[in-house]
């Protein structure tokens, strides 16, 4: 099979969908791999490393994909790129199908099978293919490190001849994959760490990382997790109680990392302007949910906003791309683990349409949009 590793040219994306390590594995398995020139440069993987791993280097994305049976990408290619693919070829990527249904339609039009890695069902067998987890984990880590860079004080307590520095107080809101790694990172750096979530299962996870759990633990909280393990939209009454608790707690915090998301909805607003007004100057808020509307009032996608009272609200986008080498490494391994589902024993491109993972993530087949979340 001809595989291709490519990434979007320009823009904010620095990750790449295959690393020299995964390419070497594909070549060993008998695949022909073509990598677009410079595809890994911003993730510290040079063309020479890909060549040494056995890849061919193509001058552009468009020439790279011409003969491919399967295109490995981070975010899917442009419509122009889809039109350059062979009919019947496949493309993988984080395709955000719910937000961007037009992309699936474009893939169908081009006769390309689109595999949305973000739709891979979160079942145990698919854990090693879960790009959402691998990338969120790094986002959680990076958010704390980045906050440390902006914060004008230290994280750990320091007792020095010149006096004692108090430890930073870090509050993590939303304890999914990113939140858990943010807690672990803040703890490692020596911060006094607290965390909140609406799912009761997170209480024990927070405690196991040595942080303190803070939440409105009423009857609604006890039933706030869906069968799929996600948060429910909370009632207006719960939100009011949560806001009251948050307002008191946040006034004493130095760094707040928000990660709260509800599938299929806008992110809940958890930190209001009034709460920000009670924080001390120099405090830092990192809103990891900014791409879905944001958890912090006043957060701006792609910007750092400083309030009148000197509080910094960080709205960076695409956090995994800020650590492109590791993020690509994890992403590429996720794809490598996915590959057997679209490959026959002889190595030919042959998606297994009976597999629930393929059914869960394939958006198109034979020129039609087939995914039930897009057709119903």
Just list the catalytic residues: 122, 127, 130, 133, 230
At closest approach, how far in Å is the CB of 169 from ligand NAD? 18
Rounded to whole angstroms, the Cα distance separating 15 from 325 reads 7
At closest approach, how far in Å is the CB of 276 from ligand NAD? 17
Q: DSSP string spanning 342-370? A: GB-TTS-B---TTSHHHHHHB-EETTEE-
Rounded to whole angstroms, the Cα distance separating 248 from 285 reads 16
At closest approach, how far in Å is the CB of 207 from ligand NAD? 15
Is the CB of 178 or the CB of 323 nearer to ligand NAD? 178
- 175 SS3 class: coil
Residue 214 vs residues 2, 90, 304: alpha-carbon distances, Å: 52, 46, 27
Q: What are phi and psi of 282, to 5 degrees?
A: 90, -10
Is the CB of 89 or the CB of 183 nearer to ligand NAD? 183
At closest approach, how far in Å is the CB of 225 from ligand NAD? 7
At closest approach, how far in Å is the CB of 95 from ligand NAD? 17
Sequence-distant (6+) residues with CB within 8 A of 37 are 47, 57, 58, 59, 60
- Contact yes or no for 71/6 (Cβ under 8 A): yes
For ligand NAD, which residue has the nearest CB?
Answer: 176
Is the CB of 233 or the CB of 307 nearer to ligand NAD? 233
Of 258, 240, 275, 272, give the one whose Cα is nearest residue 197: 258
Is the CB of 19 or the CB of 134 nearer to ligand NAD? 134
At closest approach, how far in Å is the CB of 336 from ligand NAD? 17
Tell me what percent of the chain is helix, strand and coil, each rounded to the nearest 5: 40, 20, 45
Sequence-distant (6+) residues with CB within 8 A of 246 are 173, 196, 270, 271, 275
Query: Which residues in this chain contact ligand NAD in the complex, by CB under 6 A?
Result: 122, 127, 130, 132-133, 136, 173-179, 196-199, 202, 229-231, 234, 259-263, 268, 270
Is the CB of 268 or the CB of 320 nearer to ligand NAD? 268
Rounded to whole angstroms, the Cα distance separating 340 from 164 reads 56
Is the CB of 58 or the CB of 177 nearer to ligand NAD? 177
Is the CB of 177 or the CB of 324 nearer to ligand NAD? 177
Beta-strand runs (E) in the chain: 2-5, 32-36, 56-58, 70-72, 90-93, 113-116, 158-160, 163-165, 169-173, 192-196, 212-213, 255-258, 284-287, 304-306, 312-314, 364-365, 368-369
At closest approach, how far in Å is the CB of 203 from ligand NAD? 11
């Amino acid at each position: 099979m001809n595989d291709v590793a490519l990434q979007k040219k320009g823009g904010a994306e620095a990750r790449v969908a295959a690393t020299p390590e995964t390419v070497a594995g594909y070549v060993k398995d008998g695949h022909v791999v073509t990598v677009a020139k410079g595809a890994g440069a911003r993730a510290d993987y040079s063309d020479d490393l890909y060549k040494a791993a056995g890849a061919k280097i193509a001058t552009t994305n468009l020439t790279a994909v011409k003969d491919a049976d399967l295109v490995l990408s981070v975010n899917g290619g442009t419509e122009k790129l889809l039109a350059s693919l062979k009919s019947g070829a496949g493309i993988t990527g984080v395709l955000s199908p719910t937000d961007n249904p037009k992309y699936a339609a474009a893939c169908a039009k081009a006769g390309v099978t689109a595999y949305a890695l973000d739709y891979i069902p979160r079942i145990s067998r698919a854990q090693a293919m879960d790009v959402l987890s691998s990338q969120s984990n790094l986002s959680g880590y990076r958010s704390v490190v980045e906050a440390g860079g902006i914060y004008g004080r230290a994280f750990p307590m320091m007792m020095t001849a010149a006096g004692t520095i108090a430890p930073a107080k870090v509050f993590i809101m939303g304890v999914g994959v990113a939140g858990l790694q943010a807690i672990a990172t803040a703890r490692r750096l020596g911060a006094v760490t607290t965390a909140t979530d609406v799912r009761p299962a997170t209480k024990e996870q927070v405690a196991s990382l040595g942080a303190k759990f803070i939440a409105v633990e009423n009857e609604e909280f006890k039933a706030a997790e869906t069968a799929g393990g996600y948060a429910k939209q909370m009632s207006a009454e719960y939100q009011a109680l949560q806001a009251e608790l948050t307002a008191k707690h946040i006034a004493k915090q130095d760094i707040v990392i928000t990660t709260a998301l509800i599938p299929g909805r806008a992110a809940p607003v958890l930190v209001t302007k009034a709460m920000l007004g009670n924080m001390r100057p120099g405090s830092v808020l990192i809103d990891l949910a900014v791409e879905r509307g944001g958890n912090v009032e006043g957060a701006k996608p792609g910007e750092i906003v400083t309030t009148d009272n000197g509080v910094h609200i960080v709205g960076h986008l695409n956090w995994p791309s800020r650590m492109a080498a590791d993020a690509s490494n994890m992403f590429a391994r996720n794809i490598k683990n996915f590959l057997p589902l679209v490959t026959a024993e002889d190595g030919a491109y042959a998606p297994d349409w009976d597999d629930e993972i393929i059914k869960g993530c394939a958006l198109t087949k034979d020129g039609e949009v087939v995914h039930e979340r897009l057709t119903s």
